[in-house]
Amino acid sequence: MLSFKQQHPIHTDITVAWGDMDALQHVNNVVYLRYFETARIDFLSKINLFDTINANGVGPVISENNIRYKRPVTFPDTLTVSVAISDIKSDRFTMQYQVFSHAQQAITTTGHSTVVMFDFKTATKTTITEPLLSALQQHACD
């Protein structure tokens, strides 16, 4: 049987910090947005999106986040957050996340973000251009 990392080649490992927990002794629900952000930035760095942003003033903005909590996570733990791309449109795409707990050997959280391409010079959404479109399609799950 393949491991989680083998099944999800685009992933980021995150160490749960003591400060990530709340008074109820599990990772606070808001912290998962930071975990998703860390995995998202890691993915976008790997496909060199940030070189494009600096060159032409166009980049990704989040228009929607969704999180489904399946199991509580506690300190200490290491999480592997996988990223997959779906629903690619002319100006947006969806990033799908799965959070795998090493301590529990289970997926504890799932979610997705809608990412819209934005032209910061004109303050309007814009189309996804090459080579980003090709990179997204290489990592598409649908």
Indicate whether this model's pTM tops 0.85: yes
Q: What is the mean pLDDT of each run of 10 residues along the chain (142 residues)?
A: 88 97 96 97 86 74 97 98 97 97 98 96 92 89 74
Cis previous bond, 76, omega within 30:
yes
Q: Do strands 124-125 and 78-86 pair parallel, antiparallel, or not at all (unpaired)?
A: unpaired
Counting the structural domains of the chain, the total is: 1
Range of the domain at 73: 4-138
**pLDDT value, residue 48:** 79
**pLDDT value, residue 32:** 98
CA pair distance 105, 7, nearest whole angstrom: 14
**pLDDT value, residue 142:** 63
Say which CATH number the domain at 121 has: 3.10.129.10
